[in-house]
Amino acid sequence: MAINFDLNDLQAFRAVARSSNFRKAAEAIHLSQPAFSRRIEKLEQALGVRLLDRTTRRVSLTAVGRDFDRKVQQLLDELDNTLLGIQGVAATRMGEVTIACVPSTVYYYLSQVISRYHERYPKIRVKVFDASANEVLSAVARSEADFGLNFIGSQEPDIEFKRLLEERFVAACRRDHPLAKKKRVSWTELGAYDYISVGKASGNRLLLDQALSGVSGCPQILYETQHVTTMLGLVEAGLGVAAVPSMAMPGADHPLLVSVPLVDPVITRHIGLIRRKGRSLSPAAQQLYEFFTEMKGRRRAKRPAPRAT
């Protein structure tokens, strides 16, 4: 019997099986919705079975579709492994990996790891979904991202959390600020100056509020932003000081900004990789996932850490 479908049709099927949405699946493989629908129809006609149940809001796999999905995933993964393992082919291998991350991790881990990954697989497209901690967790849980880089998720029953590092919060201020020359700053000292914070929707804000509950003399918020990068922009403009994760700060050679360790109390967060339990990553995504582990502990070699207490 002649096979009247090809690899592109299988990749289209895998895309809609992952997202349960035709629009998102079509965008993922860079097709218009009509062209994408034709591929799925072609595949179903070739097989003589219905693979998908469609409603106005959602697409779901039929029983046959679920079984076919498992087999297609195995087939495509084996093909990817074969191509990634052949010398000379890896550099020309094409594909896509989506990683979700909290914005404060981009400067430290993400940029370095993606740069190294790109050197080895220059044609694999990497999509970065930078969002709040809760949004990153949801994107991974819904399979909208292959995996994520986050500081929450370790308590979720369906999420695997692989710890990479522990980092502390530091005071961010201008070099000409009175706090800039100190070896350490207490939260009470920080409270004496105009204070900039992220909003209540931020996971960092929740972590800090919980850790500082009951601590007297804490800073009173004068300015509030949605992202750490915006907050640092206000600090750089001289509008106040802020408490930020150390990895969000620029290096020690920055002309305007400096970080000083915060004490009384010392507040830390754990950064880790999150992925859905029981879900296998594609070979391309698995390679990127493993690069994070390989880069673990290389921070000091890449950029100076905040001054020690």
The pLDDT tens digits for 108-144 are 678 888 988 888 888 888 999 999 899 999 999 988 8
Asked whether the whole model's pTM tops 0.75, one would answer no
Judge if 160 and 277 occupy the same domain: yes
Residue numbers of the domain that contains 36: 7-65
Total tally of structural domains belonging to the chain: 3
Question: Is 293 in the same domain as 160?
Answer: yes
Of 65, 81, 107, which marks where a domain is finished?
65
Return the CATH number at 143.
3.40.190.10
244 close to 104: Cβ distance less than 8 angstroms = yes
Say yes or no: 202 and 187 in one domain: yes
Whether 274 has a pLDDT exceeding 70, the answer reads yes
The 10s digit of each residue's pLDDT in 20-67 is: 888 888 888 888 888 988 899 999 888 888 899 887 677 888 989 888
pLDDT at 93: 63
> What pLDDT band is residue 5 in, cutting at 50, 70 and 90?
confident
137 within domain boundaries: yes
DSSP codes of every residue in the chain? ------HHHHHHHHHHHHHS-HHHHHHHTT--HHHHHHHHHHHHHHHTS--EEE-SS-EEE-HHHHHHHHHHHHHHHHHHHHHHHSTTTGGG--EEEEEEE-GGGIIIIIHHHHHHHHHH-TTEEEEEEE--HHHHHHHHHTTSSSEEEES--TT-TTEEEEEEEEEEEEEEEETTSGGGG-S-EEHHHHTTS-EEEE-TTSHHHHHHHHHTTT-TTPPPEEEEESSHHHHHHHHHTTS-EEEEEGGGSPPTT-SSEEEEEEESS--EEEEEEEEETT-PPPHHHHHHHHHHHHHTT-HHHHSPPPPP-
Q: Which of 294, 281, 300, 258 is nearest to 96 (CA)?
A: 281
| Residue 2 maps to a domain | no
State the Cα–Cα distance between residues 173 and 249, nearest whole angstrom.
10
Chain mean position to CA 283: 18
Question: Does residue 234 sit in the same domain as residue 280?
Answer: no
Pair (159, 171) in one structural domain: no
User: Do residues 240 and 253 both lie within one domain?
Assistant: yes
- In sequence order, what are the beta bridge partners of 159? 276
Residues 116 and 246 in one domain: no
> What is the C-alpha end-to-end distance of the chain, expressed in Å?
73
Per the domain annotation, does 170 fall within a domain?
yes
Residues 287 and 191 in one domain: no
